[in-house]
Structure 1
Amino acid sequence: MKNINKLTQYILIFMILGIGVGFVINKWFGIASQQIWSENITLLTDVFLNLIKMVIAPLIFCTLTSGIMKLKDISAIRNIGGRAISWFLVASILSIFIGLLMVVLINPGGGMNLISTDVQSLNVETSSLSFRAFISHMIPTSIVGAMANNEILQIVIFALFFGIAGASIPQQQNEQLVSLLEGISNTMLKVTNIVMLFAPFAIFASISAIIATQGLDVLLNYTKFIFGFYTTILITSLILILLGYLFIKEKVFTLASMLKNPILVAFSTTSSEAAYPKTLEQLIKFGCSKNLASFVLPLGYSFNLVGSMCYCSFSAMFIAQAYDIQLSNSEIFTLMLTLMLASKGIAGVPRSALVVLAATLPSFNIPASGILLLMGIDHILDMGRSAINVLGNGITTAVISHNVEGLKNPELELEQPLLG
């Protein structure tokens, strides 16, 4: 626990240093120097994210497959999956509704009175959102290709087939394969611990680069929007914790405390994916079944992006307000439903929330060019989206683990079998 606290302290210190250094460079150096700093220092962030991505594919495959193989009972897999999808649906509705309610109350786009302009290209690919393309894309043509591209949903699909098939092979072979897969997953978690030592430097690089090129103005401009969105994120987080409290009582506060490290990483790097290995490790230490956590958490990364859904509803209505577009109650309901469904197919898509907005807004006569209002601050907003995604998936996994088989002893070591 001391090591976790020390790493958290370093992350916070390097975040503050990043803001300070970025401010100095933005204030006293020319644009050319700012660009040079930003382009070069972000190499540290790129290296860190690449190191994390290096671990994710084998970790998800090995933990999920071994978990399914040890469950053995197909009805148990169906039961857990059903509970997870039900929770995801509730979380989706809540997060979208809260985003809608807050944007109406705060009205950050009111008074802007913008006039729609034709924008030929927003540099945001929307074709990936079609239902046909999504269903086709979720089935991997090659597991090697899926792992190479870190396609989480494709890896999950293959692992489901592999794990179910592995559960039906003779017991001795099953145990040998499970032992091998668990050995690899435990090794990947050890690798993650090493990689996390590099996190403070990557966070410093990411923060200093954005402040150096855009200055503190990126925080001051759109103050009402940023304040409103982060208030929405905070309220959604509190409601998720309250829901968790209904099932696991005071333990939800312990869980939130244990997840602060992965949340900080996701917040600072704008990547909930970067926090996946540490989130899984903390959930197991918290007492979740390793096999169940390995099954539910990857599903959450594909279908439980509560931060992105909050952002989509908040931003869609903000753009409508900015262009003074009035939507009827039925149109608002349809827009929210469309955003909820569209958000399920964008895991791993670059600037995924903007992709959803660009594809959805024109159907409701809201100018897609309105997302240009958000692009300048999208990095700041993405920090909050990524952080709450980690919290939401962590609480979901803990609640389902508790309902299915109860929480284990938090003192269990990772190397010990947690099920069966």
Structure 2
Amino acid sequence: MQTILKRRPTLGWQILIGLAIGIILGVIFYKQAPAISAFQHIGALFIGLIQMIVLPLVISCLTVGVANIGDIQKLGRIGGKTLLYFFTMTLIAIGFGLLAGNLFHFGHLIDIKAIPKTDISSMINTAHQQEGHGAWAVISNIIPSNFFKALSTNNMIAVVFFCVFFGVGTAAIGEKGRIIVDLLRAISEVMFKITDWIMQLSPIGAGALMAATVAQLGLGVLQPLGLFIALAYMTMILFVLIALNLVARLFGFNLLEILRVFKEELILAFSTASSEAVIPKTMAKLQHYGASNSVTSFVIPIGYTFNLDGSAIYQTLAALFLADVYHIPLSFTQQLLLVLLLMVTSKGMAGVPGASFIVLIATISSIGVPVEGLAVIAGIDRLVDMGRTTVNVIGNSVATLVIGKAEKQFDPAQHAAYIKNMADA
């Protein structure tokens, strides 16, 4: 019995097996509506289980982390470094997208009349409901007029804002606040335990979501827009290997080691195309890896709103690609305007599937590209979304480690012990 248990595949391999089975099922049940609906519902149940614990986990961990920091000046310093890092990496990500988009004009090769269009009316309606998604809208959404409404609408940045103030207030009342800290710490430990249980279902959830994607789109969707998909993945991979690798090395980290440590979370992020699906496990593993609870609890929730490197690359490439499809030349001034717009519109985005596409609707019209053109790439958005979500997860993991190292809240001894335990296992 012990030998059998030892041979059981790791969770990462189980998810990969689930993905492979999902692809096979998707091919078998291609365009069969009942099967697609069943796969989507199974996948949605899994995502729902993850989303169920994300907010309680963020609230408990972040409040405890801020309360433990205590010093408002120290908190402000960490916040300032975090936001500066986020905006810098977003600008670099957009730069990678601009460079790739200007070097490879694949849009000219596309016959827009030959590509089947996807109905994007619901996405356009959603984008219209979010009109005003600019700098002031992002700022105003930070402060929740009703905390419980922010919870119900999954307004992560507003929840973070409240928790920061609540944590500071808890620290300010001294010993009286210890009961709150102890209670929230216990809640976070319960949430992590529930996370472990839910993650056992991840091979089924990831496989179902992959099956739904393949059954709905089919493998043939790769042919007409294969060049755009390849360009998007190539650009994101280069961003990780060059930009994030350089940043990691500057702060004494090995990117390949980070990728090995977080491989299960990256596989899950890729298969579900949801950043929220991996927040609990990513936070737990970052703390085991050596980052302090305070920094992890502060950087990760904010990162999934303000630091979406993969999404920034995709939006830039998509805008330039569609301009090429419509044979619309973009001047330097127009591309500079695009950069400024993306620096704003890429912030405050929810870490849920399809969010980048909705934000893109509000961006491309500024450079003269018809919004209807998004119907050209809507069909393959899910395939690219899987890649950009994975890059978002890598970017936020590296960001947490960098901020922890910069604030001397990274434990090298704990890191060494964790890596040794992994090697022994």
Give the TM-score of the pair, scaled to structure 2: 0.89
Match of 1:304 in 2: 307
Match of 2:22 in 1: 18
Partners of 1:104 and 1:77 lie apart in 2 by 41
Q: Is the 8 A contact 1:362 1:368 kept in 2?
A: yes
Partners of 1:277 and 1:146 lie apart in 2 by 20
Match of 1:410 in 2: 415
Partners of 2:52 and 2:137 lie apart in 1 by 26
Query: Structure 1 pair 122/330, CA: closer, same or farther in 2 (3 Å)?
Result: farther
Deviations along 1:272-292, whole A, 9 cap, x unmatched? 111100110110111000111
Q: Does 2:280 correspond to 1:282?
A: no
Choose which of 344, 347, 356 in structure 2 pairs with 1:344.
347
Match of 2:76 in 1: 78
SS at match of 1:109: helix
Partners of 1:357 and 1:139 lie apart in 2 by 25
Query: Structure 1 pair 254/350, CA: closer, same or farther in 2 (3 Å)?
Result: closer
Partners of 1:3 and 1:186 lie apart in 2 by 29
1:42-191 map, 5 Å = 42-112=40-110, 114=112, 121=121, 123-124=123-124, 125-127=126-128, 128=130, 129-170=133-174, 172-191=175-194
Q: Is the 8 A contact 2:304 2:351 kept in 1?
A: no
Q: Is the 8 A contact 2:96 2:313 kept in 1?
A: yes
Partners of 1:96 and 1:253 lie apart in 2 by 23
* Aligned amino acid, residue 159 of structure 1: C
Instruction: Report the count of equivalent residues.
Output: 402
* Aligned amino acid, residue 39 of structure 1: S
Partners of 1:121 and 1:255 lie apart in 2 by 40
Q: Does 2:316 correspond to 1:313?
A: yes
RMSD: 2.2
Partners of 2:281 and 2:225 lie apart in 1 by 33
Match of 2:423 in 1: none
Partners of 2:50 and 2:73 lie apart in 1 by 33
1:187-226 map, 5 Å = 187-226=190-229
Unaligned runs of 5+ in 2: 1-5, 419-425
Partners of 2:353 and 2:278 lie apart in 1 by 17
The percentage of counterpart residues that share the same residue type is 34
Query: Structure 1 pair 391/372, CA: closer, same or farther in 2 (3 Å)?
Result: same
Deviations along 1:242-271, whole A, 9 cap, x unmatched? 211111233x43222111111111110110
Match of 1:370 in 2: 373
Match of 2:13 in 1: 9
Q: Is the 8 A contact 1:72 1:168 kept in 2?
A: yes
Match of 1:237 in 2: 240
Query: Structure 1 pair 140/224, CA: closer, same or farther in 2 (3 Å)?
Result: same
